[in-house]
Amino acid sequence: MTSSRSPGVETAWYTDLMPERSRDWFRQAEADLDHARLSLAGGDHDWCCFAAQQAAEKALKAVYFAHHGDPWGHSVLVMLQALPAHLQGDVAAELLDAARVLDKHYIPTRYPNGFDAGAPVDYYTEREAKDAIAHAESVLAFCRARLR
């Protein structure tokens, strides 16, 4: 089997040379979620939303790495949908919707050119930040169950 990122390179070669770091990825996901909570408490709603997206992304990457996958990209939705059937199980529609919301926080939370005028700090609300944390918590719970 070849890697989709590196044509001609065997996936086994890639995974055999790389140390298994899924626990590190999941620990960082938890730390990012903690950062999201701190950002919410500090009124930094844009950074809260970004940190929540990062937490979900890193938790999913932990699942991929734990099962010798090679995740690529930043879309929480795409990573959820691309999980092998035995890991995907019964992904609830609510979790896919949570992933869609989180994916929308990847770029506009950080770059002023994501909006016609103003900066991200002008656009993100406390409600969006609280929702982003709840969505990330759902993704982390899904991932945690697949890392045991």
- Spans of all domains in the chain: 22-146
DSSP bridge pairs for 10: 2
Distance CA 7, CA 134 (A): 38
Its pTM stands at 0.87
Give the per-residue pLDDT at 18: 66
Q: Residue 16: pLDDT above 90?
A: no
- Per CATH, domain 22-146 is 3.40.50.12780: no
Q: Give the CA count within 13 Å in the CB-facing half-sphere of 10.
A: 4
Residues 79 and 57: beta-carbon distance below 8 Å: yes
Distance CA 16, CA 131 (A): 39
Q: Residue 140: pLDDT above 50?
A: yes
Tens digit of each residue's pLDDT (9 = 90 or more) over 53-94: 999 999 999 999 999 998 989 999 999 999 999 998 888 999
Question: How far is residue 127 from each of residues 21, 43, 79, 146, measured CA to CA in Å?
Answer: 34, 11, 26, 29
Give the per-residue pLDDT at 67: 94
Residues 143 and 62: beta-carbon distance below 8 Å: yes
Give the per-residue pLDDT at 81: 95
Q: Which of 50, 62, 57 is nearest to 73 (CA)?
A: 57
The encoded tokens of residue 38 equal 């701190």
Residues with Cβ within 8 Å of 92's Cβ and at least 6 positions away in sequence, in order, are: none
Distance CA 120, CA 112 (A): 6
